[in-house]
Amino acid sequence: MFGLKPSIAAVKALKKFQKENITNIVELGAGLGRDTIYFAKNSIHVHALDYSPSALKIINKKKNELNLSKFINTQLFDVREKLPFTNDTFQGCFSHMLYCMALSNDNINQLNNEICRVLTKGGLNIYTVRNFEDGDYKNGIHRGEDLYENDGFIVHFFSRDKIIKYSKKFKSLEIEEFEEGSFPRKLYLVKNTKV
């Protein structure tokens, strides 16, 4: 789930971005930047947002060490707020397990609306979510909706129907099942396009 290598989702997203000639994306929940760096090394301009100042400091250090500053911008941001960009700014959006954070259904709906707003027409929103087949689903303390707390960490789980419900402003291209990590976590890789 974490590490130095890019996520499975980022590798698949890059192929789709390259196929669609997408070179300008926003990454939500960039974390320590393993996917940010991967995209930048493949000539994708990334505006990386994260809630953690220390995570962004690590990304900034990596981008300077790897001479990738022209491809990466970072910004401290809480995705429960309106995205800090004008309409039609990016060709693509990528987020790996951001939707799984302790976000309410209303937060998810607002986030999708904001992503749609900042994407250009035909822009791609590629993201991952943990699904109902995941071993942690319905384990731990139920925190409402499809949120469960395990070891002090709240995870939001998704069904295919829920993904479609919150993708009203997008055309669904694909919902692919995959696994990641040694647990393993069971996820969906979602690819939507702005219509």
**Using CA atoms, how far apart are residues 168 and 109, in angstroms rounded to an integer?**
9
**Using CA atoms, how far apart are residues 124 and 189, in angstroms rounded to an integer?**
13
Strand partners for 141: 149
pLDDT tier, 128 (very low <50, low <70, confident <90, very high otherwise): very high
Q: Average pLDDT in the 163-179 region?
A: 95
Instruction: For residue 35, give the 3-state DSSP assignment.
Output: helix
Encoded tokens for 103 = 């976000």
Q: What is the mean pLDDT of the chain?
A: 96
pTM of the full predicted structure?
0.96
Query: Alpha-carbon dihedral of residues 144, 187, 173, 88, nearest 10 degrees?
Result: 70
DSSP code at position 42: T
CA nearest to 45, candidates 20, 27, 64: 27
Q: Is the pLDDT of residue 161 over 60?
A: yes
**pLDDT for the residue numbered 37:** 98
Q: Average pLDDT in the 41-58 region?
A: 98
pLDDT digits (tens, 9 = 90+) for 62-113: 999 999 999 999 999 999 999 999 999 999 999 999 999 999 999 999 999 9
DSSP code at position 30: -
Architecture of domain 8-130+158-194: 3-Layer(aba) Sandwich (3.40)
The DSSP element (H or E) to which 139 belongs, if any, is none
Q: Is the pLDDT of residue 1 over 90?
A: no
Q: Average pLDDT in the 37-58 region?
A: 98
Q: Is the pLDDT of residue 182 over 90?
A: no
**pLDDT for the residue numbered 2:** 58
CA nearest to 129, candidates 194, 178, 70: 178
* Segments making up each domain of the chain, as ranges: 8-130+158-194
**pLDDT for the residue numbered 3:** 64
Of 50-54, 76-80, 178-182, 191-195, the one with minimum mean pLDDT is 178-182
Render 98-138 in DSSP notation, one character per residue.
Answer: GGGSS--HHHHHHHHHHHHHHEEEEEEEEEEEEETTSTTTT
**Using CA atoms, how far apart are residues 137 and 76, in angstroms rounded to an integer?**
30
Q: Average pLDDT in the 115-124 region?
A: 98
